[in-house]
Amino acid sequence: MAITLHDVARLAGVSIKTVSNVINDYPHIRPATRKKVEAAIDELGYQPNLSARSLRSGRSGVISLLIPDLRNAYFAELADAVMRAARAKGLSVIIEQMPGGKKEELEILRGPRMQLVDGILYSVLALGEEDAHHLDNAMPMVLLGDRIFNGPKDHVTMQNTEGARAATDHLLSLGRRRVAALGAHPGEVVGSAGLRLDGYQQALAERGVEYDASLVIPVISWHRKDGAEAMRAFLTKGVPFDGLVAFNDSMALGAMRVMQEAGLRIPDDVAVIGFDDIDETRYSIPSLSTIDPSKDQIAETAVDLLLERIEHPDSHAPARDLATEFHIVQRESSAI
């Protein structure tokens, strides 16, 4: 049987309340008492029972991170950043993957496993504005990534539209005029794909380049494989192009591979830029230009907001919407 507060209290010759006070850094304790209690804790190797604490206080010190897919390097790196930010605040992280679309997301969000956690970091993939009411509950939650407009929860995101505008403009500034966009979700408005397509179009308009729908390549799932396949299909159409904005790095890398197999030189024939600044982009051939979304900043901001909601559960402060900075990273794939 494990050591309890009672054991410590008995050894230290105080009541369990005093021990509890010491553990929870309650301010008004005589130094001598604190010493005694700490000595007893050390001697017994006491560790608080987190289930009991959680039952009584309603706080477990665990948060959930809901992401589509860890195999996607962007989410692995984001998860890493979130876990480091969470640990710095004394929180543990349960990761849940939900590659199964809207139904699965809702299921997990409502499932019994969310009982255990104090709050949720939710990287929205499938839910849209019409589902915002599903989130209108008391659970502390911060949304990451896509934007649910006017949702009831705090939201941290990169500047999708601005980022895509900057990426596209970067290629245009190199003199490219037939810039393809890889990763569109036809009809989507509020998700990353929709916002990035919007930025792409803005950049074209600003440079006076006419929008050509045949340069927009839809890809539903943003994996390397899907980028490769979409590019393969696009090449068979013979649409001329000299630039490529991929809406994430994984797709860009898959597409680069296919283009080079087809004899296209990068950046000479096609200049390429991606999105996310995953580690791999530094070592691909050629190395990949990209938009760095400041994952660490996203993670830290999100954990801070969540912690605030956890600590002030009945503050009815309105949902906040924060956007992090981004940076263009120019590498070989868009070298001059």
Residues that bind a second copy (CB under 8 A): 47-52, 54-55, 60-62, 69-71, 73, 76-77, 79-80, 83-84, 92-97, 112-113, 115-116, 224-225, 228, 253-254, 257, 260, 279-280, 282-285
Question: Binds 77, which of a second copy, DNA, none (CB < 5 to 8 A, cut-off by type)?
Answer: a second copy
**Structure tokens that stand for 21 in this block:** 């006070």
In the complex, minimum distance from the CB of residue 137 to DNA, in angstroms, rounded to a whole number: 16
Tell me: does residue 55 bind DNA (CB under 7 A): yes
Contact at 8 Å (CB) between 327 and 295? no
- The tokens describing 22, both together, are 């010491």
Q: Which of 35, 40, 56, 166 binds DNA (CB under 7 A)?
A: 56
Cβ-contact 40, 12 below 8 angstroms: yes
To a second copy, the closest distance from the beta carbon of 283 in angstroms equals: 5
CB of 207 closer than 8 Å to CB of 243: no
Q: Does 70 bind DNA (CB under 7 A)?
A: no
Span of 54-62, 163-171, 255-263, 302-310 interacting with DNA by CB under 7 A: 54-62
From 300, 294, 293, 308, select the one nearest 86 (Cα to Cα).
300
**What angle is formed at CA 170 by the lines to CA 167 and CA 174, rounded to 5 degrees?**
150
How far is the C-alpha of 127 from the C-alpha of 96, rounded, in Å?
16
Instruction: Please select the residue that binds DNA; options are 10, 11, 21, 102, rule is CB under 7 A.
Output: 21
52 binds DNA (CB under 7 A): yes
336 scored as a contact of DNA (CB under 7 A)? no
Phi then psi dihedrals of residue 88, to 5 deg: -60, -25
113 binds DNA (CB under 7 A): no
